[in-house]
Each structure stands twice: as structure tokens, then as C-alpha cells.
Structure 1
């Protein structure tokens, strides 16, 4: 079935898949932010007001969490990319920039490829944060282990409210989404460094426990239209502390019309 057909419009509307934290009546460009494994749109609440009035910020709402708690989780990268891209189709009337952090970086990359290959739409730029490029990935099968191993990895990386991991009732609610996301992470890659039709910008915390600047520099092999790497003090979630500078860089690299 092709994306956008009448029979599958309802579960993939923009309002269902994307959170808007500020109103942009006449956007001149859009920025789509794709959260990390175990993450949700609320983590990027501050991004909604960090850009100029012509920029509409969309944050992906993955199923199985928050107000999509009852929607079945998705545990395959290809399926998540399909649903997300389908929901984007009505929003391609203005230039689109993609930003993804950790797992979201791989999702942003796959979305850029699918938009180009299937729909002939090139993103204006692709921004990838704290994630190895596809040809350098070394997936770990954490999803095949118990909840304790997954929780330890989430704690190691940071970026998740500790209360969600320690309170038994809350943990029971969030674990299906965490397990689904880490199934995506554990089954995606390595794969060839297919080129994207736009510049690629990479970002990394210099104390990230799993990724080196050399790893992030290897994104250049996907970027025949240009590549640049910026590093920040901090670990995997450097972007929490350095959000103003990071959003300033992203804003300066988006098309302005």
C-alpha cells in the first residue's frame, strides 16, 4: 500500500505523529526533531520556542508513550521510518530540516533517504547527534536481555527521568517503549553508507562513553553535498546543557527564505 492512501490516513496524521510546542501560522521552513531511544517529544519542549517565528518545530511522537500510550509500539527501523515519512508528506510545502539525537539520528538519516528515493524530496539538511553512522554501527542485543540490563543502559546514557526507572508502577508503563526502541537500536545496522541529497551536520559530546569524534566524522561518507562536525563538552546528553548553542547552530544552517 502506498503512503498517503485513504485507508491509512487516520493513524499517520501530522497531529498524531508530531508535537508542536508553539504556533507557527505561516511557516517558511520546518524542523523535525527525532528523539532518542526511550525518549519522548516532551524532552524537546524548549526547542519549540528556540527558533525564529518562520520556523515550525515538529517533534516526533513515537507510539507507546505519553498521549500515544495505547498505540502499539514499533520495534523495527524500517516500519518506524515508513510511518513517519507517510505522516510528513502533507508537510513538505516548505523546506524541511531533520535533526535526530542518538537513535533519532539513524531515523532522521533513513527518513532523508526514503523521502529522496520514493518521493523525490531532498531535505534541506540532515543533523545527526551522538550516533555512529550506519556503516560503523555495532549493535548490542540488549533487547534480548531482561529489564534490568535495559534500565542500566538507559541510566548509563542519561536523558531519562530517574523516577520513571525506579517507581515500579511507572517503570511498568515505560518499559514496553524502552524495549521497542532498544530492539530498533539492536537490530539496525551495520549497513552501507548510502549518500543523502543534502549537507550533513554532526554533533557530539566529547565525553560520550560510546562514540568518538572519529566515529562522528565518518558521517562524511554519507554526505557528498557537504559535512561538518561540532563537538561540545559533555557526555551523551550534552545537548541538555548546551541547548542554546546547539539550536543556534541548527538555526543558522537552515534555509532562510
Structure 2
């Protein structure tokens, strides 16, 4: 995804002149803003897409990671403050779902802004800690996990150990952020929440995704999509059509 600016946390490939809403997208562990590179092509002209770019990759490859997922969310929320002149919806996939959730909490608690909707994809709820320590594995073990999950380029990475020093540090840091994150109990979101899960996802079940209903006092929806853990890349058009229908069906919270 081409950046609007060369610095900061947000990348906007296709700025809109007068958007009625903005959609801010958070990638998975090991992912980047490019994961959402074609999303603007599937959105109407009055919806502006922004993708979060985590440090340590692409145009931020020389930057250090944040201390934790809460710190990451705080950085993104501060940058989003300049974009709150329009209603904002948040989408996060896998680790990005928790990051988007924490940003939604900050927007509601500290900015008085209720997001149009929070879309959480391919992730169990924040309060369930699974005890994984993938970030502590050696390089071969980390790559084996990427292959198991089926991320884009994992097989190429597995066959190219010479690339490991370039790509694995950021991926390892992302797993560290996710695995050391601890949910802080608090009031549920006011924002509506939609949970999305692939029917063949081996990382989260529909029942587990359905427990996101406890994290909002507003409307909740659960959708099981075709595909596996990376269904957003496999069925982008169907996913965005669904998201737009849900956004069109509601008014911005007051």
C-alpha cells in the first residue's frame, strides 16, 4: 500500500476528497499495510481506507518495535486524533483485532469518540490468554509456525534461510506483542462489534469468536466466512461487501 506520508503509523493509498467515513485496518502478526493494498479498489468513493504500518517492516524496517500492544495502540490512537472529523470504523485481523479493540477503547475513553463499528477477524477474545510462547522459539521453529498457519510467503521464507535475518525480527516482535498482552478489565465498548471467522480456521472457532459479544454493550454480529485463517485475503470482495452492508445499516453513534 503506497503511503500518504513516509512516516507515522497510517498509510492511505487512495485519499478521498470528502469521505463520509474512514476504515482503519490493522494487520496480523508479521503482516504489513500491504496486506490491505487492494482494499480501496473494493470500497465506494466516499469511504477512505487507512492501513496501520507496524515498525520493523517495509518503509519502517529500521524502526524499533513498541514495548507492548498497549503502547502500539496508544501510538495509533494519537495519530488517529487528526482524522476524527469523520466517523471511523476499525478492522483488525488476528493480532490486529486486539490492537484495533484497544484503539477503540482509547477513542471511547479518552477522545469521547465511539467508532462506527469494530470488526474483529480471526481472533479469540482479549481476555483469553492461551499461554503460547512462539516468540521464544528459534528461527526454524518460528518459520515452522508460519508455515503451519499458512501466511502469505511462508513457504518461500522456509526455503530461503538467507532471508530470515531480514524478516524474522519483526515477525518475532509481533508474536511477542501478542503473547505478552494482558487484557485490562473495564467497561464494554459502546461501539457495535462484528466478529468474523473462516469456516476452516484452525486458530479460532465460531464459538470462540462469538464470545466477542461480551466486549460490547451495543449490537453484535458473528459471521462465518469461507476460507481458512487468512480468509480476508482469499475472499476480499465478499468480506468488504459484508462490512459495507453493516456500516450502511447503521447511523454513526452520537
1:63 deviation in Å? 0.7
TM-score, normalised on structure 2?
A: 0.90
The answer for unaligned runs of 5 or more in structure 2 is: none
Question: Does structure 1 retain, via aligned residues, the 8 Å contact 2:135–2:172?
Answer: yes
Relative distance call for 1:130 and 1:17 in structure 2 (3 A) is same
1:49 deviation in Å? 1.5
1:66 deviation in Å? 0.4
Q: State the alpha-carbon separation in 2 of the partners of residues 14 and 229 from structure 1.
A: 36
1:231 to 211, 224, 236: 224
Structure 1 residue runs of 4+, over 4 Å off? none
Q: State the alpha-carbon separation in 2 of the partners of residues 14 and 191 from structure 1.
A: 33
Specify the alignment match of 1:245 in structure 2: 238
Specify the alignment match of 2:111 in structure 1: 119
Residue by residue, what CA displacement relative to the aligned partner does 1:206-254 show, whole Å, maximum 9, x if unpaired?
A: 1111211110010000121010000012211122221111001111222
Residue by residue, what CA displacement relative to the aligned partner does 1:174-211 show, whole Å, maximum 9, x if unpaired?
A: 11110110001111135547411110001001111121
Q: CA RMSD in A?
A: 1.9
User: 1:77-88 to 2 correspondence within 5 Å?
Assistant: 77-88=69-80
Specify the alignment match of 2:191 in structure 1: 198
More helix by share: 1
Question: Does structure 2 retain, via aligned residues, the 8 Å contact 1:124–1:198?
Answer: yes
Question: Does structure 2 retain, via aligned residues, the 8 Å contact 1:205–1:234?
Answer: yes
Q: State the alpha-carbon separation in 2 of the partners of residues 249 and 40 from structure 1.
A: 23
2:101 to 84, 98, 109: 109
TM-score, normalised on structure 1?
A: 0.89
Relative distance call for 1:75 and 1:167 in structure 2 (3 A) is farther
Specify the alignment match of 2:16 in structure 1: 24
Q: State the alpha-carbon separation in 2 of the partners of residues 170 and 35 from structure 1.
A: 21
Residue by residue, what CA displacement relative to the aligned partner does 1:137-168 show, whole Å, maximum 9, x if unpaired?
A: 31301112212222111111122313344323
DSSP-derived class of the 2:123 partner: coil
Q: Does 1:92 find its partner at 2:84?
A: yes
Q: State the alpha-carbon separation in 2 of the partners of residues 189 and 142 from structure 1.
A: 16
Specify the alignment match of 2:45 in structure 1: 53
The answer for unaligned runs of 5 or more in structure 1 is: 1-12
Q: State the alpha-carbon separation in 2 of the partners of residues 14 and 138 from structure 1.
A: 36
DSSP-derived class of the 2:174 partner: helix
Specify the alignment match of 1:138 in structure 2: 130
Question: Does structure 2 retain, via aligned residues, the 8 Å contact 1:48–1:57?
Answer: yes
Specify the alignment match of 2:162 in structure 1: 169
1:47 deviation in Å? 0.6
Q: State the alpha-carbon separation in 1 of the partners of residues 7 and 111 from structure 2.
A: 21
